[in-house]
A and B are shown apart, each in its own frame.
Chain A
Amino acid sequence: MKLSQHALFWPATTLLLLLAVCALFNPSFLSIAWRDGHLYGNLIDILNRAAPLMVVSLGMTLVIAVRGLDISVGAVVAIAATVAALMIGGKFSAGGDVASDHPLWQALLAALLVAAACGLWNGLLVVKAGMQPIVATLILMVAGRGIAQLLTDGQIITVYYAPFFALGNGFLLGVPVALWIAAALWGLLHLLLSRTALGLFIRAIGGNPEAARVAGIRAASITLCVYTFCSLAAGIAGLIISSNVKSADANNAGQLLELDAILAVTLGGTALTGGRFTLAGTVIGALIIQTLTSMIYSLGVPPEVNLVVKAAMVFAVMLLQSAEFRGLVLRAVRGGAKHA
């Protein structure tokens, strides 16, 4: 098989191209240093900031692979962040120390359980009520943020309890904790997909749901689990994000994250029609998106044209990844050569 036919060839090429452009404008962009006991540099920064998106996109990949879609992940991020922040609370004690209302592990567990429950709800609407995935998850997308705002009375909750900050800001063995979390989740999924029949079943369900059912695959249960997992992943991302900004903002946490996640999955080469999916591609897709964002900042693009530039870049990236477009260009070039 030719290298260019590998499923990850175009996503990886795109990412490398973007990094090369960054390096062109800023020669020190690719340098990595050891500072303050951890790795330091633009690349590390991109990896760290991309971690929540990676986590959400991994869940989204599986949902899309079973012909689903989950547009509620941004709302679930907000819910999980809110639940954790509320349970940690944060009062200053007399000595200036900050205590947690509930033990940290309870707060984190509660946030994840609530997130998983959200996913179960989505899954039930899709599997049992037979709703279109986009409609089923639209409900939670709208309601979820509302619930989070109700819980917080519409206020941004600031967290002062320092141990919570490790998730989004800490380092372990010199590498950001958030990156460890994303890597662990990827590793876990990879094991599940390669050591159990889950990968085969998901591809069968996504490829032909009716045939999968006739073959005796418990398509409904698996789909339910996949939606639950996706929300759980969004919950994890919510914890990382709120830890990073040391607060929970029900209005803005995870805003538009669902679209970035779908984009990351698509950029990575997973078919939106279901069946064909790649976790590694999704990780690359998330990195492409974060690299784009970092690039725009490091090139000093004025904030007001930020979104337009990002859209133009996404457009270019999608064209580069489109086999039809590449064919068109190739034909035009060859045709031109013939006429010349």
Chain B
Amino acid sequence: MNDAAIVLEARGITRAFPGVQALAGVDLTLRAGEVHALMGQNGAGKSTLIKVLTGVHAPDGGSIKLLGNDVAPTSPLHAQQLGISAVHQESHLLPNLSVAENICAGRYPRRAWTRGGGIDWRETNRRARELLAGLGIDLDVTQLAGGLPAALQQLATVARAVATDARVLILDEPTSSLDTDEVQALFALIRRLRDQGVSILFVTHFLDQVYDICDRITVLRNGKFVGEYPCAKLDARGLVAAMVGRELVHAGKAPAHAPAEAAQATAVLAARNISRRGQIKPMDIELRAGEVLGLAGLLGSGRTELARLLFALDDRDSGDVSVDGKPAKLDKPADALALGLGFCPEDRKHSGIVAELSVRENIVLALQARMGLTKFLRPAEQLALAEKLVAALGVKTASIETPIGQLSGGNQQKAIIARWLATHPRVLILDEPTRGIDIAAKQELMNEILALANGGTAVLFISAEIEEVVRVSDRIMVLRDRAKAGELPPGADEDAVFSMIAGGP
């Protein structure tokens, strides 16, 4: 593999933003037909490096060579023409166009003028079908992209990226919204592309995936190049150590906090028989003070839908909700807020952050919404509150007044959690709070969740990673096919959760 031709060679890339040196002399070497992992914690500079390679940002210094020639991509389109394509975390297909239209967008085949000119739709569909078939993807290309499951959208996005004869394909956390089977389908596609000689740069937070598919790893830390390693020479422990810059003390089972006590506590929030057609079959759920209830289940089992129902983001078709044993009015998110509920949504960009507002404003938003229009938090109070939470959660930001959209994903996530901590919620619903954030931050987050529970908050913790659910939860509720499969008592292990998900006893 070491002998394979070098396709892309970036040397000494630097790039600064106001207040942050995002990249300081980073090297990256991609060879033909390899899958190369780019690893680093949040804010290590992975995203910036990708943006430099794809022409979104111009580097302040350094050089990029593609097949031996110096290149300087000036826009994503230019990068694509050079042969560098990227697929980002969330699929960027246009939902109201068909799969074929998406794949051929920008280079639609034309009909001869003798036949009336215009776009040749039959040829468009044929090309898309041929491309997908060549990649082993079975998909009706005339379907609207928006109607596809997330995983198929992701595959189609990758297909579109390589349709331009890409030499280098950058995959930025492509698996973060996929479940295990879907990841395997994506990996099959990646291997096929690799065998065709495409160089693939793969960014992920899942260590096991790195060892599943990658040949080599480049590690960044705080914008600096740490090293390039063959996968065989660097085990997971070593990789984590390289990323965080120290030996990670593995936390193991999180410190337990007297679940026996919690079991006796009364339910803060109890829902009976709640349902929503096509999303949640009637079920009961109870959240108790000082307890972490884990919610486990496969993608599509109704985890997020249940959370949205509990926070009244969607209307329920049936069911009663009570708080502290008394019937409660819970018809809209503002009601939930008034009752002392908090909700960190799964889809950070779409329903979490307000990108243009500052970190401070994003943090005070929920508290201010609960205090109402007229009891305005004075700027000094906002600042003090936001700074306290930013420090407590370790949000990395150039300034408290930086628009939150400029923060890295993990830091945005922390800021959204800070938003809810500011309201001192009695019930906190966390939907995939650890998605897309690095290991050290995950650990901090887990500790934060346990501290919250110790403080008497009822926490609903939702995660696709069963191991996390087991580690942090007192009780675990399992969903299967949009219905409640059952509940597991404190002390249940991963096997018990898996067998319940699978339909066992």
- A212 proximal to B (CB < 8 A): yes
A208-B357 Cα distance, complex, nearest whole Å:
10
Given contacts A195-B376, A207-B356, A276-B356, contact A214 B351 (CB under 8 A): yes
Q: Is B345 an interface residue (CB 8 A)?
A: yes
Please indicate the chain A residues that have their CB under 8 angstroms from the CB of B370 in the complex: 216
The B271-317 residues at the A interface (CB cut-off 8 A) are 311, 313
Q: Give the CA-CA distance A31 to B352 in the complex, in Å.
A: 54
Per the 8 Å Cβ criterion, residues 435-479 of B in contact with A are none
A197 at the interface (CB under 8 A from B): yes
The residue that A214 contacts in the complex, of B345, B357, B361, with Cβ under 8 A, is B345
Chain B residues 333-371 with CB under 8 Å of chain A are: 333-334, 336-338, 343, 345, 350-357, 361, 364-366, 368-371
Partner of A203, one of B338, B356, B377: B356
Provide the bound-state CA to CA distance between A197 and B365, in Å. 9
Interface residue tally for chain B (C-beta within 8 Å): 33
Interface 0/1 of A202-243, CB less than 8 Å to B? 011001101111111110000000000000000000000000
What CA separation (Å) do A212 and B336 show in the bound complex? 14
Check A197–B354 contact: CB distance below 8 A. no
The residue in chain B whose Cβ has the minimal distance to the Cβ of A207 is: B354
> Which of B357, B361, B419 has the most chain A CB atoms closer than 10 A to its own CB?
B357
**Is B380 at the interface (CB under 8 A from chain A)?**
no
Which residues of A lie under 8 Å from residue B338 when comparing CB positions?
Answer: 216
If A213-B333, A214-B345, A215-B366 touch, whether A201 touches B373 (CB-CB below 8 Å) is: yes
Q: At the interface, yes or no: B372 with Cβ under 8 Å from chain A?
A: yes
Question: Which residue on chain B has the smallest CB distance to residue A204?
Answer: B354
Chain A contact residue count (CB 8 A cutoff): 21
- Binary contact track B370-401/A, C-beta < 8 Å → 1, others 0: 11111111000000000000000000000000
A197-B372, A197-B376 given as contacts; is B334 within 8 A of A207 (CB)? no
Contact at A207–B355, with CB atoms within 8 Å? yes
Q: How far is the CA of A212 from the CA of B355 in the complex (A)?
A: 11
Question: Closest CB of chain A to B123's CB: distance in Å?
Answer: 34
Interface residue A281 (Cβ < 8 Å from any Cβ of B): no
The 7 lowest CB-CB distance pairs between A and B, nearest first, are: A216-B337, A216-B369, A207-B354, A208-B354, A210-B351, A215-B365, A217-B369
13 of the cross-chain contacts (CB-CB < 8 Å) are A196-B376, A197-B376, A200-B364, A201-B368, A203-B357, A204-B354, A208-B355, A210-B350, A212-B354, A216-B338, A216-B370, A217-B369, A275-B354
- Chain A interface residues (CB < 8 Å from chain B): 195-198, 200-201, 203-204, 207-208, 210-218, 275-276
Q: Which residues of B contact A (CB under 8 A)?
A: 311, 313, 332-334, 336-338, 343, 345, 350-357, 361, 364-366, 368-377, 419
17 more A-B residue pairs beyond the given contacts A203-B356, A215-B369, A216-B369, with a C-beta to C-beta distance below 8 A: A195-B376, A196-B376, A197-B371, A197-B373, A198-B373, A200-B357, A201-B373, A207-B354, A208-B350, A208-B351, A211-B351, A213-B351, A214-B343, A214-B351, A215-B333, A216-B333, A216-B337
